[in-house]
Amino acid sequence: MIRASGLVAALLSVLVSVAPGHAQSGKPGVEKLYILNCGEGVAGDISRWSPGVNEGKSMDFVDTCYLIRHAQGWFLWDTGIPDAVAAMPNGLAPADPKAIHWRRPKTLAAQLDQLQVKPSDIKAMAVSHTHPDHIGNVEMFPTSVLYVQKAEYEWPGADGAPRFKPEHPTTKLEGDRDVFGDGSITILSTPGHTPGHQSLLVKLPKTGAVVLSGDAVHFRDNWDNRRVPALNFNKEQTQASMQKIADTLTKENAQLWINHDKAQRDGLKMSPEFYD
């Protein structure tokens, strides 16, 4: 009798530990995720991101934001190109013609409006890093708590300017963070592209686990070949972060969604469709 119940307990513990992509506690956790169009662009020369290869080759880029409905409130990952770019007839031309010429076919505000989500409904937000194509609309959400790595927050901008408005409510991180305490949304510290770059692990109820790359990698070919853009802050950190993401994909049986990869995004459902 004792042996039999011990066996049942052992079997149950195995069943619980192998259930993939589900909140452990039985709470609803993440309910759904919307992919938002936060920019479309053309890179003049993608060897900027893949040193030694793709010399002179132009490529279409996309810029992506992700809106997540959690039982405890809305969470926004990245904010994209500034909405003001939508009103610029020729978009935002870069100083360096090899860089990305961005356009904003749809504003973030209009996409939230379509979902009947007000900026003040966004309980918390995080940006992968502080490059302009990711922080363009942070101040559309002045009351949303911003999760950012301390190393990124304190990284001096041009002329030593702060990266964020000092009055914006902020939680400064030093490493990974389980945002709602149930394991369903976890910020992963993935430095290298910038000093405090971060990625996001999301566990959806039906889709399973997904890692949102930020700019830990920019497109699939660079991921497959572990290439590090020459403009990255730290090459070794970037490689270690790519390995951390690869280990997370294996451990969580997760998909990797690459923020700027147009070919991949073209195959994904865009808002108002969603993943659950």
Which residue ranges make up the site for Zn ion (CB under 5 A)?
A: 133, 215
- The minimum distance between CB 4 and Zn ion, in angstroms, equals 57
Instruction: Report the C-alpha gap between 203 and 275 in whole angstroms.
Output: 11
Considering the complex, state which of residue 83 and residue 215 has its C-beta at the smaller distance from Zn ion: 215
Considering the complex, state which of residue 153 and residue 219 has its C-beta at the smaller distance from Zn ion: 219
- The minimum distance between CB 188 and Zn ion, in angstroms, equals 17
- The minimum distance between CB 39 and Zn ion, in angstroms, equals 9
- The minimum distance between CB 2 and Zn ion, in angstroms, equals 59
Instruction: Report the C-alpha gap between 176 and 114 in whole angstroms.
Output: 32
Considering the complex, state which of residue 133 and residue 182 has its C-beta at the smaller distance from Zn ion: 133
Considering the complex, state which of residue 133 and residue 152 has its C-beta at the smaller distance from Zn ion: 133
Sheet containing 100-103, strands listed edge to edge, beginning at the edge strand earlier in sequence: 100-103, 30-43, 59-70, 73-77, 122-126, 145-149, 170-173
Task: Tell me the Ramachandran region of residue 16: left when phi exceeds 0, alpha when psi lies from -120 to 50, beta otherwise.
Answer: alpha
Query: Quick one: which of 70, 80, 204, 214 has its CA closest to 141?
Result: 80
Q: What angle do CA 166, 39, 89 make, to 5 degrees?
A: 100
- The minimum distance between CB 47 and Zn ion, in angstroms, equals 17
SS3 39: strand
Considering the complex, state which of residue 35 and residue 204 has its C-beta at the smaller distance from Zn ion: 35
